[in-house]
Chain A
Amino acid sequence: MNWYAIKAIYKFEMARTRRTLLQSIVAPVISTSLYFVVFGAAIGGRIQEVEGVSYGAFIVPGLIMLSLLTNSISNASFGIYFPKFSGTIYELLSAPVSMFEAVLGYVGAAASKSLILGTIILATSALFVPLQIAHPFVMILFLLLTCITFSLFGFIIGVWADNFEKLQLIPMLIVTPLVFLGGSFYSASMLSPFWQTVTLFNPVLYLISGFRWSFYELADVSIVVSLGMILVFLLACISTIWWIFKTGYHIKK
């Protein structure tokens, strides 16, 4: 195992975050705070409690998930796409580094950044709404699994993309709508039976539901099913990356 290489990639990626602190940390925190102001205070004031939880507090897990998913994907996809774009990937390909080690470095850094961001947003939300975390270990487990899984997913997108438009395509057109429609701002039980059934096909629903359960013991689906779904997605990402390593898809000629 080339630990020096993993450390070098990790440090390099984390240094990029420090250089772009405004974009990496401050901007997501501000936009999430705006969600609290708009949905929590302005609109939330007109919405009754959701299953005994104030609306402002109810949307906290969904908002954290929204930031985790989009940032995990963008951090990891940019991390591997930019060397491809600039040509500096030659160094990674010519180094005694296995793709597994490269993924550990890139995905580890992307997941770390998202974890830091998630923690900051959680702390920020405590300034706006009274928070309770019923199952802190489950919450941390969900945070970790989400950061890792969606950073892996971002890595796949970064490998697949051959231009900046493609890099943004899946996060903007698929992931963000799925997060918004996955119960970030509402409970699936508030929908009509037909739309409740449709929502079950949205994988993000399981993430948000499980994460929210760790806070308030409120869930649209069973916590076990939520955990199972994220593990399935994690395995799907790992399998895809294994295939990328094997074939050199979009990395090696």
Chain B
Amino acid sequence: MQDTIVSIRSLSKTYAGGFQALKQVNLDIRRGEIIALLGPNGAGKTTLISTICGLVNPSEGQVLVDGFDIIRDFRKTRSLIGLVPQELTTDAFESVLSTVTFSRGLFGKAPNSVHIEAVLRDLSLWEKRNNKIITLSGGMKRRLLIAKALSHEPRVLFLDEPTAGVDVELRKDMWALVRRLRDSGVTIILTTHYIEEAEEIADRIGIITRGELLLVEDKHELMRKLGKKQLIMDLLQPLAHIPDTLAHYTLALSADCLQLTHTYDSQGADADITALLDDLRRVGIHFKDIRTTQSSLEEIFVKLVEDAR
């Protein structure tokens, strides 16, 4: 059994207006992993993060961080956690250095200019340390929020939609940073609705919708289990119809009769491609090209969310 750093048990949250944002969520987050919480807008991702970090009071359930209860031992749990919010909320007239120094103090850590400098350099903000925040670009502000969250050397980092509204280059920089943090031993929990982001950097993926955690699975396992594969064959000659002898395969013929597609489960009995190719040759179907495709995480996600409706 892998070491759990965040343990969530039967966590529910009902807001004052009666809206139930979280319903009996159970989740174990492993030390040192990157876990992505995927879900449509309003699914409960931010409420889940906010509850663990102390911004929202849970209605019921329990959350332990490194074995400490987030309510009873809030000082211990919060000093272990760093939070990067979705919105670019900063004190516009503060300087970069002073706001990061403030964050470290707020989290109960003695001043450490060496660490602050290292964090700012790592995020390419050191040259801007004396600039007022209002003068920074959106991407720099996003990095500044990460610097503030890292100022007190957290062991668990929550990133709420870290690449929302940032350009492709910065997004890739951000992914590289997240990987570096993971490599340094920080556990990363990120929410996103960019499937590509989860596919690119996450070790495990949790899918959440309507306040319920539908599943949590290793990314590759999830794609292997739920992903459909397709074998696409470009035919040499147009095919009038699919022969009856091939009826037991899930085959589809294109409208121009020049492409045959076989959809199969990579773990299923129909995954025997050699047998299919033998059968095709036997009935005289020849092809000039052949390729395979696999469902993307996005297709899996859309299907899971639709099934849950």
Contact = CB atoms under 8 A, between A and B. Distances in A.
A2 interface: yes
A5 B89 contact: no
Interface stretch (A8-16, A62-70, A197-205, A219-227): A8-16
B109 A94 contact: no
Interface in A88-124: 88, 90-97
Contacts of A253: 15-16, 50, 55-57
Interface in A1-38: 2, 4-5, 7-9, 11-12, 15, 19
Interface in B67-123: 74-76, 78-79, 81, 83, 85, 87, 89-94, 98, 101-110
Nearest to B15: A253
Given A95-B78, A96-B74, A252 B108 contact: no
A5 B105 contact: yes
A140 B48 CA distance: 49
A7 B111 CA distance: 11
Contacts of B85: 87, 90
B55 A88 contact: no
B59 to A, nearest CB: 11
A97 B91 contact: no
A84 to B, nearest CB: 11
Contact of A96 (B55, B79, B94, B110): B79
B141 interface: no
Interface residues of A, number: 24
Interface in A172-231: none
A19 B55 contact: no
A253 B102 CA distance: 25
Counting chain B residues whose Cβ lies within 8 A of the other chain, the interface size class is 35 or more
B54 A91 contact: no
Given A86-B89, A96-B75, A4 B55 contact: no
Interface in B240-274: none
Given A91-B106, A96-B107, A2 B75 contact: yes
A253 B109 CA distance: 27
Contacts of A97: 106, 108
A96 B103 CA distance: 11
B56 A2 contact: no
Contacts of A94: 53-55, 78, 81, 83
A7 B105 contact: yes
A248 interface: yes
A150 to B, nearest CB: 25
B91 A86 contact: yes
Nearest to A5: B106
Contacts of A90: 55, 83, 85, 89
B229 to A, nearest CB: 43
A2 B104 CA distance: 12
A127 to B, nearest CB: 33
20 contacts: A4-B109, A5-B108, A12-B94, A12-B102, A15-B98, A86-B92, A90-B85, A90-B89, A91-B83, A91-B103, A92-B106, A93-B54, A94-B54, A94-B55, A94-B78, A95-B107, A96-B108, A97-B108, A248-B57, A253-B50
Interface of A: 2, 4-5, 7-9, 11-12, 15, 19, 86-88, 90-97, 248, 252-253
